[in-house]
Structure 1
Amino acid sequence: TVGDVIEVLKNSQGLAHLGATSLVMGLMEAGRIHLVADGPEDSFVPGTRYTRTDEQYPMSEVVRTLAPRFIESATDFATSYPILWPHISHLGITSAAYLPLIAQARPIGALGLLYSDKDGFTSDERNLLVALGSSIAQSLQRAMLYEQEHDLAEGLQQAMLPRRIPDVPGAQVAVRYRSARLGRDIGGDWYDVIPLPGGRVGAVIGDVQGHDTHAAAVMGQLRIVLRAYAAEGHSPATVMARASVFLHELDTDRFATCTYAEVDLTTGVVQLVRAGHVDPLVRESDGNCRRLPAEGGLPLGLSAEFGRLEYPVSTVELDPGQTLLLFTDGLVELPGADLDEGIQLLTAMVRNGPQDLQRLADRLCEEVDERGGEDDVAVLLLRRKVAHAPQPGGRLQQHVAQSDPEALSSARHMIRAAVRAWGAKARADEVELAADELITNALMHTDGGAIVTIRVLTGPERRLRVDVEDRSSALPRRRDAGEAGVSGRGLMLVDRLADLWGVESRGSGKCVWCEFVIPAHE
């Protein structure tokens, strides 16, 4: 950086070797000279922090003329620069050398070396100082370009990441991003937290191939697309498949690894989809940490290219107090070690890390900073709050699209988890089977999808109710399936399994419902 260059000149015995007492330095900014090093302590002259090139100051002169100015004596200084001299005459300066800092044939600033026990400059000294000015100018130009590139890279990376993480009722969330490299070498790592209807939240972690601005640009587009598909209500597998097609159609040679987790914070059901990414971890409330193996598909972009868009969904449950850890491979890649060793070390670090989520995230990043490394790191930690455990009287709702088998499977998991969480475990199989029949009936015999709602009714006796709404006004009817029939038994099963069931007409369709009494001892 520019500060590093100045520090080397002032504190590396450079001034002593040159016999100078101190230095001043100014850099060009918007047509003015910005004073960035101001000589001896207490020597700053008010009004000279920014000066014009047409003013009567030595740095202005050398920038204007592109020629060095050697001041041979105090008298020469006082005569040539009457505005400046009265402010610095007490410093005991006997001579000075002001050098234009020229890089690529244009002035980028000026350097002044001040002497207190020297009169005049020999020809060799002048040649040495001119050469020194040229060398310093090149160093400063590289430093300025470095700072600009780093600021650009950092700004681009930050612009592509979410500006803020939304508050998630029922969960604590901590996110971190660390760039392991400086300069232009930024990465395509990203995280995102997506609020979803019905007490659900989407958690995303991903990594676009490459370490450059193109990777960051692709990452930004992919993050927005994933967010849009998830917000539209698509299942996790569909979100991944569509994102892969989008990346493939971007006409880029980059692919991306990604993990998408849709978490129902009321029931704790987590649906995980992994596209070539490292497995997540789960930290128990007592601090124990374990790997969460999840069947995966090809990275985004590659799965579309090879026509393998099927992404398996792994369903797990996140208990209150448990923490889901999503991260990019930069956190577990260690020199000379394989990925499994890195994950084992991370697991131990999480196990022994602080309980507080923000402090734990900081600790993981501190490890990255200490280790160095060649890759960026993104981390997302999501902890299900204990206070958000399901309570009697709960209600869950989910949309099931007609042509989306993953959504039907997701609805089954939601119902199964809710029944257990709400104290009706003894009737879980009955509730799930009856609900499955109603949902399948709606998908097969109506146009459009279905909306499934499961809730607990309080009263003299607790009842669990399942509503399945569709957009058809045609009422369902019981019919004989026949000896070889494969359909027609749905409503008969519901009638046998449920304590009550019925049909309600709605303005834009109907609702078929069934209720189950929850035994008091549960």
Structure 2
Amino acid sequence: MLRRRPPRSASADDLLTTLGRLTAQAREGAEKQRARVELAEALQREMLPTRLPEVPGLRTAASYAPARHGLDIGGDWYDGFPLPDGSLAFCIGDVQGHDVEAAAFMGQIRLGLRAVAVHAADPGEVLSRANDLLLSVDCGLFATCTFVRFDPVAWELSSARAGHIPGIWVTGDGRSGLTNDPGGVPLGIVPGEVYPVTRRRLDTSGALVLLTDGVVEGPSFPIEAGLQQVTRLVCANADGDPATVAAAAMSVAELTGHSDDSAVIVLCFDGSGPQPRVKPGPGARVAADARPSALSDG
């Protein structure tokens, strides 16, 4: 009867060779992931504006923070730019997914919004046109967005939402709340979608804070708690400059676990700011002499 030899144990050299090969593969995978993250971060930095427009009586600021672990970067953006009629446009949004593809898609959305806003009558039409434009590209991604138009003549804000979380408003007399306005589905899902427009007259000093869900939602941290925390901090810092308000809002991301990237945009309305007498034409400087109002529901 033949006796089967026991299997030969791997030698130390064999084990070291295997370990070295696995280590090299892991290092190569980590380097590729790091390269993708760095590329996404570079795209994000280059695509976000370095500053936001302002007029007398309206001060602005924004902040962006990458994901805590650097793996979920690329989806969030903000923007602000003047329109040909002298009004100002501001928007914030969040692209489905992350990494390089989301960062590139974010850039397409930002440019698309700028392009259609020049020819659109109000924020609802801007979002509708941008939605159809994104569907025509057929990239398979979608994005939430809030688009706001500030009229420096009427001191009025008009806004529309495409599946985005509500903003936060505070006033100089201590009132605050959420902009739970009617809205439509995210951009890039349903063709021909209609986005309702909400208009607010600014009747006292205050601030409007727009943000992405990475600021207020995270593991074991519900979005309702995040919005409440941001509201509390914004109210406590309402007398500060917009950068201070933005920093206070962004600090909540550290409480959520910061598993997503985050963006904040702040519009502060001074009760003593000027108001134009005549609506400026394209390229005109905004200057005037009446008092602006501040944020309230209307």
TM > 0.5 between the two? Answer: yes
State the 1:141 CA deviation: 4.6
- 2:265 match: 380
In 2, Cα distance between the equivalents of 1:421 and 1:184?
46
1:299-325 CA distance string (max 9 Å, x none): 212231xx4x22211110234532111
> 1:398, 1:313 → 2: CA distance?
24
The code of the aligned residue for 2:234 comes to V
Identity %: 37
- Structure 1 or 2, whichever has the larger Rg, is 1
The within-5 A match list for 1:250-289 is 250-286=137-173, 288-289=175-176
Matches of 1:350 and 1:324 in 2, distance apart? Answer: 9
**1:368 paired residue among 253, 260, 267:** 253
Report how many aligned residue pairs link the two structures: 273
Is the contact between residue 325 and residue 382 of structure 1 (CA under 8 Å) also seen in structure 2?
Answer: yes
Which residue matches 2:97? Answer: 210
Question: CA separation in 2, counterparts of 1:356 and 1:141?
Answer: 46
| CA distance in 1 between partners of 2:218 and 2:232 (Å) | 15
Q: How far did residue 250 of structure 1 move?
A: 1.2
Residue type of the alignment partner of 2:93: G
| Distance 1:273-1:148 versus aligned 2 partners, 3 A rule | same
8 A Cα contact 2:209 2:266, kept in partner = yes
Aligned to 1:328: 212
Query: Within 2, Cα distance between the matches of 1:233 and 1:311?
Result: 13
Report which of the two has the higher share of strand: 1
CA contact (8 A) 1:153 1:184 kept: no
Cα separation, 1, equivalents of 2:66 and 2:163? 22
Deviation at 1:137, TM superposition (A): 5.7
Deviation at 1:128, TM superposition (A): 10
Contact 1:267/1:421 (<8 A) preserved: no
Tell me, yes or no, if the aligned pair for 1:265 and 1:388 is still in contact at 8 Å: no
Alpha-carbon RMSD? 3.2
Q: Quickly say closer, same or farther: Cα 1:300–1:132, change in 2 above 3 A.
A: closer
Deviations 1:394-432 (A, max 9, x none): 112699xxxxxxxxxxxxxxxxxxxx979xxxxxxxxxx
TM-score, with structure 2 as normaliser: 0.78
- Tell me the TM-score normalised to structure 1 length: 0.47
- Find the aligned partners of 2:128 and 2:149 in 1 and give their Cα distance: 15
Choose from 396, 413, 417 the match for 2:279. Answer: 396
Amino acid aligned to 1:369: E
Equivalent position SS for 1:244: helix
Distance 2:226 2:70 in 1: 26
1:426-446 CA deviation, whole Å, 9 max, x = no partner? xxxxxxxxxxxxxxxxxxxxx
Find 1:201's aligned residue among 88, 94, 98: 88
The corresponding residue for 1:52 is: none
2:225 aligned with 1:341, yes or no? yes
Task: Say which SS state the counterpart of residue 251 (structure 2) adopts.
Answer: helix
CA distance in 2, matches of 1:367, 1:352: 14
Counterpart for residue 6 of structure 2: none
Among 184, 199, 207, the alignment partner of 1:315 is: 199
Aligned partners of 1:321 and 1:385 also within 8 Å: yes
Q: 1:165 aligns to what SS in structure 2?
A: coil
Q: Is the 8 A contact 2:86 2:280 kept in 1?
A: no
Residue 237 of structure 2 aligns to a residue whose secondary structure is coil
Distance in 2 (alpha carbons) for counterparts of 1:186 and 1:358 = 22
Question: For structure 1, which runs of at least 5 residues remain unmatched after alignment?
Answer: 1-123, 400-419, 423-522
For structure 2, the 5+ residue unaligned runs are 1-10, 283-289, 293-298
1:447-486 to structure 2, matched below 5 A, reads none
Question: Residue 186 of structure 2 is aligned with which of 276, 295, 299?
Answer: 299
SS of residue matched to 2:194? coil
Aligned match of 1:159:
46
Q: Distance in 2 between matches of 1:148 and 1:203?
A: 32
Quick one: structure 1 residues 382 and 421, their matched pair in 2 at CA, closer, same or farther if it must change by over 3 Å? closer
Q: Describe the shift of the 1:336–1:130 C-alpha distance in structure 2 as closer, same or farther (beyond 3 A).
A: closer
Higher relative contact order (CA 8 A, sep 6+): 2
CA deviations over 1:214-238 (Å, ceiling 9, x no partner) = 2221111111010111123532221
Contact 1:180–1:369 at 8 Å: present in 2 too?
no
After superposition, residues 489-508 of structure 1 pair within 5 angstroms as: none
